[in-house]
Every structure is written in C-alpha cells, then in structure tokens.
Amino acid sequence: MAISVISLRDVRRYYIVGDFIVRALDGVSVDIGKGDFTAIMGPSGSGKSTMMNLIGCLDTPTSGKVFIDGEDTAGLEEDDLAFLRSRKIGFVFQQFNLLGRISALENVMTPLLYAGVGPRERRLRAKDALERVGLKDRMMHRPNELSGGQKQRVAIARAIVNNPSILLADEPTGALDTKTGEQIMELFSDLNKEGRTVVLVTHNVEIGMACQQQIRIRDGKVEA
C-alpha cells in the first residue's frame, strides 16, 4: 500500500451529555494513502463529521491516535498543530462558511493573511486560486451575489490557496442541486488528479461511488 497520509488507530470520540455517553466514534481504524480520493459515507448521526473534525485536527479523540503524514498529532505543540491545520489541510463545508461582508477575492485571501503572506502576494495567489476554480469573473462579488455552486467554488479556492496536500470536505454538495453538485465533484476530482489527497463526506451513493474508495460508517464504527 502507498504511504498513509491519514491514519486513525482505534479512535474513539465520546461526548458526555448529562449522565449519558454518546459514542460518536467507537474504535475506528482507517488508512488513507497519499493522493487517494476517498468518500466517507453513512447515515445521519453515524459519526462522519466527527471523523472529519478529528482528521482535520479541529478536535481531539477521547482515546486512540490520529497520524497525519506519519506524525502523531497528540504529540504536536500548538504551533505545529496550527501549521498543520493552516498549511497541510484545506477544509470545505456544506454551508460554505464564507464571510458575507467581503468579496470572493477577500474571502480567499483570508487564510493567507493568517499565514503571514504579504498583501501583493495574497492578492496574486487568491486570484490564481479563484481562476483555478473557474471564478475569474466573479472575484469582486460578495457571497450573496453568487449562486450556491459559485459560493462553493469560492470556498474551495479558499481551501486550496495555501496549497495544502490534503483537502477535506464535509457534505460539499449537500446544499446544491444535482447538476451543480456534479460540477463541484468534477472540480474535486481534478484537484485530486493534481496530486492532492481528497476526503469527502457524502450521503449521496452516486457521489460516493464516483470516488476511488469508500469508507462506510454506522453507529461510530467502520462497516466496510
């Protein structure tokens, strides 16, 4: 097998709600290789978003290990974790999560600001990223002046602007109609062919089957 860029080892994530324990993930071990295109599938509440947040180091497991590029993320200092989250991993969400008061271009520039890139370079790189997702002619539009598919393209441009090797997307087509969803999937497929490791969550069987491999989860456990 190829080198794993993402590796979960017996990962559990429990939530305590009152005197009740929710086993959102209950002993999950998976390996995702460099350059893979993987779909995480499963019913609502099965633990898909929980798993994505752990892979993206937005959350830490109750027990078990999360390795990114062979590195145990539990052993990383806050600075290294921040670096990992901002440079190695790009995130795309179902509801786009764009800032409404600023243009598409400024939205895409935001991660570069946090990465300490200067203003000229920020603008150039954000323009490149928007061009890459086919939105060259919509750069000055604000999110409410864009269609759902266009908003998702802006979000994808923002996710790739730091040139991360891993792209994570939680239900990226969930808020889009079928045809727009297919176009967004084509974009993910192209980004994968350029060498990025892509992991996406989907409810949609056809979308899932279009990916190279599927991880099915149910009740916090890997089914297949």
Footprint of Mg ion (CB under 5 A): 48-49
What's the distance, Cα to Cα, between the start and end of the chain in Å? 18
- Residue closer to ligand ATP by CB (options 48, 125) is 48
State the nearest-atom distance from the C-beta of 22 to ligand ATP, in Å: 4
Residue 159 interaction partner, one of ligand ATP, Mg ion, none, beta carbon < 5-8 Å per kind = none
C-beta of 15: minimal distance to ligand ATP in Å? 3
158 binds, among Mg ion, ligand ATP, none (CB under 5 to 8 A by kind): none
Element (H, E) at 37: strand 37-41
Q: Which is nearer to Mg ion, 24 or 68 (CB)?
A: 24
Q: How far is the CB of 218 from ligand ATP (least distance, A)?
A: 9
Q: In what order do the strands lie in the sheet with 4-17?
A: 20-33, 4-17, 63-68, 71-72
One character per residue 10-49, x = contact with ligand ATP (rule: CB under 6 A): -----x-x----x-x-----------------x-xxxxxx
C-beta of 200: minimal distance to ligand ATP in Å? 12
Binding mask 103-142 toward ligand ATP (x if CB under 6 A, else -) reads ----------------------------------------
The answer to whether the beta carbons of residues 7 and 32 sit under 8 Å apart is yes
CA–CA distance, 10 with 201 (Å, rounded to integer):
20
Sheet with 37-41: list strands edge to edge: 89-93, 166-170, 197-201, 37-41, 213-218, 221-222
Q: Which among Mg ion, ligand ATP, none contacts residue 118 (Cβ within 5 to 8 A by kind)? A: none
Of 48 and 138, nearer to Mg ion (C-beta) is: 48
What DSSP line would sit under 148-183, residue for residue?
HHHHHHHHHHHHHTT--SEEEEESTTTTS-HHHHHH
User: Which 8-state DSSP code applies to residue 2?
Assistant: P
Using the rule CB under 6 A, which residue among 4, 38, 50, 162 binds ligand ATP?
50
* # residues contacting ligand ATP (CB under 6 A): 12
Q: Which residues contact 195 (CB under 8 A, 6 or more apart)?
A: 35, 165
Whether 36 contacts 189, CB under 8 Å: no
> Could you tell me the maximum CA-CA distance found in the chain, to the nearest angstrom?
54
Indicate which of ligand ATP, Mg ion, none lies near residue 152 (CB less than 5 to 8 Å, by partner kind).
none
Binding site for ligand ATP (CB under 6 A): 15, 17, 22, 24, 42, 44-50
